Structure 1
């Protein structure tokens, strides 16, 4: 009996220790979430400031260009202008240049501040994720100590599955890095190398063939730079479309699906059934990635003749539907090494959403995700 009491006391102390640790980790997570929310608000203000300063800079560049043209005109026909007009043209051009330099410096500082906040947000998000992971692990220990072995078994199975999923993510990240490396090497890097070679020819062409031939070389050079810039922007867009932050989910999806249709030749139609309202950033990126994953999976595995994407943003929830007429599959049959649906479910579960899968072999696939807004379903 004494032995039983001793074991019970030990278990009780273990439970108290584990419970205290859980509370402390939870407090760390909550503090990190609070700081994360404040930084998100700061980031929004800085992003708005960046947009405003870019608009000011663009207007100032126009004014500066006109002032320089005016100064060039005055300098060219110096005799036709008074000293006062010459001085005024010079001072105005110089003033605009100074203002433009100040604006560009301010824009640089704002961009640096924005980047710094984004880095801090990433670190905080990592802290929050680790705190949540630790709390989950502690819950496993608590359940084990209280004797709920069945639940522990299920959680261990899920943990093993999540471990496989995590390894798959790491593999996918490495593959993505290799793909990006190849794309950059074969695309922008190669183009920039060609630009360097062609730029060295300009002076030689000028000396040997004159201004006109040199101008042709410069025009060709400009086209190569434009192509390189376009390729870099495409790579950046694949990583994370900037338009998602600036324009919102619906316009970005429409543009992305048009690009997919042009690139793959697959017939893709997009219908927006609701209003083009803005959602929290994490919700917009989750919905975008969900549609992206679904459409790419259809293209890679289902060989459809048509994919239909529908989006409806309501005051209480966001709904996305992706339907294809491809070969379909049995959702109950789990394929070895297939983590696409698991990744979708995890992304939806993080936002307390609901994922519905309707598919049969030979009958196409319909995916529907519903994510609550403001905690309402």
Structure 2
């Protein structure tokens, strides 16, 4: 074979030479393309190999080839997967025909060439398609059938802020903003999984959190079998369009709102078509049903009063005649009451100058008209009020010359109105000099107003105190308006109040009791006695402190409860005994009286502290003497009356025996009854003795007394009462044991009477420095801040604990009820 070439079928169906053997380059340049209607082109597109010898070539060769000495021709088509895309053409002048091995070889070569060109063409198409996708202005996203992203183009990253690496393998839901409803997403998936194309819009969120709008088209991609393998989404950023649409809607809405708020309706009357157009607000102004057409000229006139109708008709006629615009106030007669409108109209001309339509607006000015009428009425009322006011009133020009005064100032000044209208304000001023008056005038001009006190002089020379409230208006060349009030009585009252305050301050500062003021949780004022009581040299050591800083911590709950109750009820708290902490941290017993009083828009608390150290010492002595006397009486009853009753009962027993022996049974029975009464009386005497002296002066006396107390409470009240703890208590001070017993006794009685308990437990336990007495019940508990609790023996219990150097606390028990605890040190 001498020459050969590879031809491809081009867009028009002709053969275009793609490659040629080196020996046929010149030939190829001459026959680089065969037209569609040539035999070679037809043979190639037929899709079957063609082999011809010299005798058959005349009808096959092109005109340029016929001059060559060709003896054989071979045309072998090649194809891609679907169609013929070209052929191999081989010619020779040295052989007579193409042998079979050569034919098979040519056909094999053609198959390979077709495959190579098919792949090359597919790669080129793919490259072109890729360049289109990469460079398109639209966002392109390809996902699998489950919505996992497999590809995004650069425009996607520009729009969303996410790189391809950040989103591939994830779902498009990462762009969701929450503004697209779940129903839209369900409809989308239903559509594309059904094989249809979905069109819609998304309101998505970029990586930086900003929102944007997209118009999207999402289509399914199918394979050769028609199965959906992927989904491709093509989306365009329509944020600007959406913003423009929103702005347009907002503008239209604002226009309607503005017309509604301003009560302005517009209209148009086209003479060429006799068409009338009314805005929605105009219907509202006239109270006309929007379902009706706009009112024509005749109907429109019926809405107005006769006087307004005549003015409007004349104005419209002038505008129609010569184009004169009009603007006038009109009164409308409506069933719901007359209203006022401002009517404006003008003519519109065409190119020839002819008037072709009228345009205008009407504004509901009813409120303005009513305000003007009300203002006129108000001005009349103000004049009447000012003229009849008890305070003086005057109006000045910018330099202080009097322009007007009311009757009250005329009377107080002693001048006539005519005289005052010729005077300058400095003529009646008795406190400021003329220079100071002028400076004051300039000051008020700058500030706009002033409220001050001064003194004025009457016509007969009397000087009186005045409070002046003045304001300045720069309108009408500058005017001062001023009210003056005679404050003679107020000044007298203020002087009386100052004297009263001085008396109170002297009483406050020199009181023998400590008096302080608690305002908003801080001490704000103290008297001299407080300095001595707390051991400080200056009130600064106390002012600013919290009241809790001044009292022993044991009393803080009680103080908080009392403050809270006074704030809630506004009532004074009853006297109570507490301990304060002096500057050197020592304690002092005080009686506290507290009462709230109003301060501004809130309240403060007056607190009076009375040192009761001496009284406590006296009370301690009284209690000790009383206790000793009770013990003496108890011993006297036990040793005196008790012994006598014992002897009498024994004597009665002997008499009873002798009477029985003598046969006097009735007398013996009477003596037996007497003996029984004597024994009962003896038991009561012993019980009384135990009450007066309940504790034996030995180590087990206190525990035995508490056990006896528990047994008697159980027998008499039905409440289960038991004693637990120490059996022996070593104490040098016998009074200590008695007071501990009395504290326990009072605590138990309070629990039984007021706590409704089921069980009361009394315990004695060793403490860090001595002994701890506890009384615990499981009842309903009671509020120790209430007055009733003070009447239940708290004061006496605290007295007794203080006498023996103990610390008493009362608090709710952990499991309900009340816990009374007294910790007492014992001598070593």
Instruction: Identify the TM-score tier after normalising by the shorter chain.
Output: 0.3 to 0.5
Of structures 1 and 2, the one with the larger relative CO (CA 8 A, separation 6+) is: 1
Structure with a larger share of its residues in helix: 1
Larger Rg computed on CA atoms: 2
Structure with a larger share of its residues in strand: 2
TM-score (norm 1): 0.44
TM-score (norm 2): 0.22
